[in-house]
Structure 1
């Protein structure tokens, strides 16, 4: 937690104590800024600035419960159509980074409400899953286990790997993290099979397969997609996959077409992690996709029958609804 720079003359304890007192009075007691200024012998301008400092320092978390007749209708439509347990809808944002945070916040709220002690959560890689691990959890546990559902990749950067995300989630929610000691991508299917047969890798994957929850991203093959950024597949391979009808992937392992059918002939079989069949055995698989470019990939993923909870933006939900009406 960073101390706002204009309070560095004070001790951190005194600074945070004053920020917390002002935040408590303003957000919980409902006092006006003028009343707080008089009570604490401060100027109103300084109180206003310190309220903002309390937010920046992480002492205040503002949560907007986003719901409307429009979201309620589309939740019912998509849940009924695809057998979802829940649809987590966030407001749209022009900024992709903020959109990711908006979606991640809905997932965090869901986890806070549904996680219990002694549960196991399998975790995939990617920016959308990583964003959940950056949210501040309001509820913590002691005996949760977060287990990597895919291997690691230097190309993803530390923040994008399942191992790093697991450790971040354990810090946020409590519990422990388990690493899958294997590369995420290997060039040949035979090498993948050999690594999966390794005892250490097999035990970790078996733990992930027995998870109560799974957090996974939905990938696509666009120029800014996880697959493209990783550089695991050549441009020709990606084009061949698109020509074969691939619209997206789950866990970087199972590729599918717009109807949700497996489409692994070109790109499949080279990533070490949970498969579609593994995810289907997990009690609740939560798929996260924030980017507006992923509407078709989300639709295909919904049709795989793997997803129990979808977290995305309202604009993506509306686009998917339009695609369905257009016969896609």
Structure 2
């Protein structure tokens, strides 16, 4: 049974949002002050009694989300943004939506794997506190490089997710890329590393973006000393267009025979496939080609993407993909989960 205070919160919210009454009028009805009404309305939002959603009439988001979902067999959440929006604004809007989705998807006794990067750092800034019990956040790929340890950057990012959910945090203190495949093989036999890999294998949720080799806004892995010039030239010669969790992909989604992947510390698409929910977060024109590669690899179950990037993704997909070609066949049988299109539709 609701307390008197909770009843006041409900009454104030109903008068303000449903009856379009001004705060001064509500204050008279409730025999209180305008400032108290303002606090009651704020409390209603914090309690989840009120959710505010903007639905621009001209937005293409719902239709784009349904088209992407039908083409790739995934759940899609297209975030409405104006065509004129700058990259930073698009990234922030996508990050806000992703943070909200995570709050609804991640709960007690679950394990979430996080791949560090610029996009995930944006998501971390918009997380709200959700108490959980027995949950764990684990780093999916190493962070050290030949210019700096890289560990502080990744550690702060992963810790932010852990703090937001009251979750235990497990870091992965290895390089992003080993110099030699043999070194990686030896490290993977160490008990301390095997412990982290075991937690990664038990993940219920994986959160990652895609990295772009080219473009005006370089992804973190290509701009922060993780690869030298010879590595980048080798990637171009092998047809690599981007990466997921620092595992490199060609445009067709293939990755197994890319030489640098033998030195990468992130989970391959094959290993990520074991994770029930795999959330890919994307904003930016330079991410369209690597996003398509990730979708073709079948590594994504849930995509959060801005409206402009979603539109350009569909314009890039060859007709054979949208008409039951390679992409659709590769993903046939994977269910479409969740509701599509608008962030406000997420429950």
Residue 232 of structure 2 corresponds to: 238
Mapped partners of 2:231, 2:174: distance in 1: 24
Residue 97 of structure 1 corresponds to: 88
Residue 79 of structure 1 corresponds to: 69
Q: How far off its partner does 1:207 sit? A: 0.8
Q: How far off its partner does 1:200 sit? A: 0.7
Note if contact 1:295-1:319 (Cα within 8 Å) is conserved in structure 2: yes
Note if contact 1:192-1:270 (Cα within 8 Å) is conserved in structure 2: yes
Q: How far off its partner does 1:62 sit? A: 8.0
Matches for 1:165-244 after TM superposition, within 5 Å? 165-222=157-214, 224-244=218-238
Q: How far off its partner does 1:247 sit? A: 1.0
Mapped partners of 2:275, 2:199: distance in 1: 11
Mapped partners of 2:138, 2:52: distance in 1: 28
Note if contact 2:92-2:122 (Cα within 8 Å) is conserved in structure 1: yes
Change (3 A) 1:182 1:237: closer
Change (3 A) 1:32 1:25: farther
Change (3 A) 1:230 1:266: farther
Matches for 1:301-316 after TM superposition, within 5 Å? 301-316=294-309
Mapped partners of 2:149, 2:55: distance in 1: 32
Mapped partners of 1:291, 1:159: distance in 2: 26
Residue 133 of structure 2 corresponds to: 142
Mapped partners of 2:229, 2:285: distance in 1: 22
Note if contact 1:121-1:215 (Cα within 8 Å) is conserved in structure 2: yes
Mapped partners of 1:303, 1:132: distance in 2: 24
Matches for 1:1-328 after TM superposition, within 5 Å? 30=16, 32=22, 64=53, 70-84=60-74, 86-92=75-81, 94-137=85-128, 139-153=130-144, 155=148, 160-161=153-154, 163-222=155-214, 224-252=218-246, 254-262=247-255, 264-325=257-318
Residue 20 of structure 1 corresponds to: none
Q: How far off its partner does 1:242 sit? A: 2.1
Deviation digits for residues 4-51 of structure 1 (CA, Å, limit 9, x no counterpart): xxxxxxxxxxxxxxxxxxx99997752636669997589xxxx9xx99
Q: What is the RMSD of the two structures over their aligned residues, measured on CA atoms?
A: 3.4
- Select the structure with the greater relative contact order (CA < 8 A; seq sep ≥ 6): 2
Structure 1: 5+ residue stretches without partners = 1-22
Change (3 A) 1:26 1:170: farther
Most deviating of 310-319 and 132-141: 132-141
Note if contact 1:256-1:264 (Cα within 8 Å) is conserved in structure 2: no
Deviation digits for residues 251-290 of structure 1 (CA, Å, limit 9, x no counterpart): 00x2111111116534322222322221011111111121
Structure 2: 5+ residue stretches without partners = 1-8, 322-347
Taking structure 1 as the reference length, the TM-score comes to 0.76
Note if contact 2:60-2:307 (Cα within 8 Å) is conserved in structure 1: no
User: Alignment partner of 1:227: what SS?
Assistant: helix
- How many equivalent residue pairs? 292
Q: How far off its partner does 1:212 sit? A: 0.6
Note if contact 2:127-2:161 (Cα within 8 Å) is conserved in structure 1: no
Note if contact 1:75-1:87 (Cα within 8 Å) is conserved in structure 2: yes
Change (3 A) 1:323 1:142: same
Note if contact 2:151-2:173 (Cα within 8 Å) is conserved in structure 1: no
Mapped partners of 2:192, 2:259: distance in 1: 29
User: Alignment partner of 1:267: what SS?
Assistant: helix
Mapped partners of 1:157, 1:234: distance in 2: 15
